[in-house]
């Protein structure tokens, strides 16, 4: 199926290459960072489960389970809940409004909440009520950047990189007001999925496709690990999409 502009039914994924690229991300997490990586078993008819960040938002042991817009992804919520419950995560709430984890990023004591293509604007109030944090709503307007985490990267608690034209003018102003340090990114740089990144506040792990973007991260004082993810880009995802932070 195709449910975003990156997906094309005639463009097959090379499974061997995808497995190799996934393994490289896993190895970076385990060997470089020493992180304890948990694996969610795949379901054959749910290929987008590989983009595990979309299943929920978790903070301080509280989990808001995604309410997916497209029928093709809706069964993922049930599978995610089964895995979470089976691994000791009990404080789970199903989102009432359309809400997807990939639209929501934790930045210090704030939640950046994207809406427009997958999540509803009303989800921001639900996030505020449940997690008790300030929520910064950001209206996505470019369908190529359908989830917030494709156009915004949290590099540290006070530094964000983003592609401005992915969100409307009012949202750009809100973001610049909410976060002290902003790195502007071009459309070409963003299309390489370098903003779909994971950072521990010091080191950024992301797509290696745009060297100019990686240099912007370095210039801002971050160490950078670039890794190839072109097979996942065919489905509109990258490193962050494949990674759910278990914030217990």
Residue linked to tokens 């590099």: 155
Distance between CA 14 and CA 98 in Å, rounded? Answer: 32
Rounded to the nearest 5 degrees, what angle is found at the Cα of 55, between the Cα atoms of 50 and 58?
125
Active site residue 241: yes
Distance between CA 47 and CA 148 in Å, rounded? Answer: 21
How many whole angstroms from its chain centre is CA 117?
14
Element (H, E) at 129: helix 123-131
Strand partners, 227: 207
Choosing from 15, 107, 147, 181, the catalytic residue is 147
Distance between CA 238 and CA 248 in Å, rounded? Answer: 24
Residue linked to tokens 């992804």: 73
What separation in angstroms does the CA of 24 have from each of 31, 117, 205, 210, 225?
10, 30, 11, 18, 11
Q: Which residues contact 82 (CB under 8 A, 6 or more apart)?
A: none
Tell me which residue of 116, 199, 119 sits closest to 161, measured CA to CA. 199
Tell me which residue of 146, 225, 213, 144 sits closest to 184, measured CA to CA. 213
Q: Which residues are catalytic?
A: 147, 241
């Amino acid at each position: 199926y195709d449910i975003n502009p990156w997906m094309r039914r005639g463009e097959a994924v090379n499974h061997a290459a995808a497995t190799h690229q996934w393994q490289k991300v896993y190895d970076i997490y385990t060997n470089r960072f020493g992180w304890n990586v948990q694996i969610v078993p795949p379901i054959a008819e749910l290929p987008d489960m590989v983009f595990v960040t979309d299943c929920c938002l978790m903070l301080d042991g509280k989990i808001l389970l995604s309410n997916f817009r497209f029928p093709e992804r809706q069964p993922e919520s049930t599978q995610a809940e089964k895995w979470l419950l089976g691994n000791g995560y009990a404080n789970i709430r199903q989102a009432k409004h359309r809400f997807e984890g990939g639209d929501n990023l934790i930045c210090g004591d704030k939640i950046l909440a994207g809406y427009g293509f997958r999540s509803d604007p009303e989800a921001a109030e639900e996030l505020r009520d449940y997690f008790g944090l300030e929520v910064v709503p950001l209206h996505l307007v470019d369908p190529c950047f359908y989830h917030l985490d494709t156009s915004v990267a949290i590099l540290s608690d006070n530094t964000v990189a983003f592609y401005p034209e992915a969100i409307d003018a009012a949202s750009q102003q809100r973001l610049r007001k909410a976060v002290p340090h902003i790195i502007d990114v071009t459309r070409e740089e963003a299309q390489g999925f370098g903003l779909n990144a994971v950072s521990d506040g010091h080191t950024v792990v992301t797509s290696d496709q745009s060297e100019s973007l990686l240099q912007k991260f370095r210039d801002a004082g971050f160490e950078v690990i670039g890794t190839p993810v072109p097979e996942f880009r065919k489905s509109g995802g990258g490193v962050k999409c494949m990674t759910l932070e278990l914030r217990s």
